[in-house]
Structure formats: structure tokens, C-alpha cells
Amino acid sequence: MPGFGLGFGIIVTALSLVVLIPLAALVLKAAGAGPEEIWALATSPRVLSALRISFGLALLAAAVNVVFGLIIAWVLVRYDFLGRRIIDAAVDLPFALPTAVAGIALAALYAPNGWIGALLAPLGVKVGYTPAGILMALIFIGLPFVVRTVQPVLAEMEAELEEAAALLGASRWKTITGVILPPVLPAVLTGFTLAFARAVGEYGSVIFIAGNIPMVSEIAPLLIVIRLEQFDYAGAAVIGVVMLLLSFILILGLNLLQAALRRRLGHV
């Protein structure tokens, strides 16, 4: 292919400078701690708790975003109503807002003395400075990824297919599960992957509403920052490598599942 060699060389060089070399430096820094210290740090209760909170809530937030993101994308594509363009533009706000601003806004809403938190407090419900507050922040920053991934796919779908299914006697639920969802599933899975990847490393919007209590609401990125402030660079690198490996395994699995779905849809 004309120009393939030059283009491939540019891609490999750019990828190495931006991704591979920094990740290799991170791994080398962590390896300097020694096997025993790496294992002790990676399996310490505080690190395991932070990883469980970060990855568990990121997966849960991505799942919630899939449901609401699909509904929002459907409404924006299939319905024309007053204010639709405003809502469509508002979906992108988490992209544009600095994460610290988002965290402050969420804390103002869901803190015990916030607008919504004050209403929930008498009911015994606490959102701010708890894992529930972290979940709200992760849902907020991840929702646009699902909406913007699914929206173009829904826009390309022909409404006549749904009408044909209805004429053939299919129920609305059968039309949704048999006609609408199968072509959209790869895009939904892509949106889920992007929302998860964005959420698992989120820092700025979380620390303002999490409470940052060790073993309760402390996320892994915050633990890395704490290690850096203590000049424990090797310890921070070890936590970073553990997050890198876990994220890579999960995202690789999701990508393989997405590829399998595409192959299956291609044979249908």
C-alpha cells in the first residue's frame, strides 16, 4: 500500500511516545520496590479497599449509565419536542466542565446541608461523603459517553423496521428486544467500556463528595496522590500498575465480547 510504511512508522512512534514509554516507565518504577514489597503493598487492606471501591463503583456507574444513556439517546433521536436542542447540548456538559467544578456542584447538592442532601437527611439517607456520593459523581461524568456512542446508531436505524414488526404482530417488548436492541448492543457495550474507563480513574469530581475516609470512601487515585505527597514514588507506582493491569484485563474482556457480538450480528 502506498505510504503504508511511513504512516505505520508515524503511528508506532506517536503511540510509543504518548502511551508505551510512559507505561513502561511506570512498570519499571514499580519493579524497583522488589517482589515482596510489591505484593505486600498490593494486598494491603487499605489498597484492596480502595481498588474495590474504585472498580466496583465504576462498573456500577457504567451499568446505570447504560440504562439511562440509552433512554436519553432514544428520546433525543425519536422525539421532537420543545427544548430538545438544549437537552442535547446539556448532555455534553460533563465533557466541558472541569472535574473540580463538577465535584463542588455535586457536593453543594448532596452534602448533608445541600439542597437535596438536606431533604434526604430527615429520611436517614446520606449521599454526600459516602460511597453513594462517589457513585453519583461517576454517573455524572460517564453519562455522555453512553449517549454519544448510542445516539448515532439509533439515528441510522430505520423506523420502518419497528412498524413492520408491529404489523407482523410483535408486541412492543418483542420489538424492543428483537429488532431495536440487537443492532445497538455493540454501541451500548462501547459506551459502557468508555464510561467505565473514564470512571475508574476519576479523581477531581470524586474527592469533593467522597469524604475520603480510608476503608470506607477512599478511591485508588486518591491513594496514589497520598503516596506521592509522602514521596513514596515506588508505592504510588505499584498502585498505578495494579490499576493498569485490572483495567486492561476488564477492557480487553469487554472488547472481545463486543467483537463477538459484531460477528454474531454479521451472521444473522
pLDDT band at 268 (very low <50, low <70, confident <90, very high): low
73-117: pLDDT as tens digits: 999 988 888 888 999 999 998 888 888 888 898 998 998 888 898
pTM: 0.87
33-72: pLDDT as tens digits: 888 888 998 899 999 999 999 999 999 999 999 999 999 9
| Domains defined for the chain, CATH in brackets | 44-267 (1.10.3720.10)
Give the contacts of 142 (CB within 8 A, at least 6 positions apart).
61, 62, 65, 94, 194, 195, 196, 198, 199
Residue 6, pLDDT above cutoff 80 = no
Q: Tell me the pLDDT of the chain averaged across its residues.
A: 87
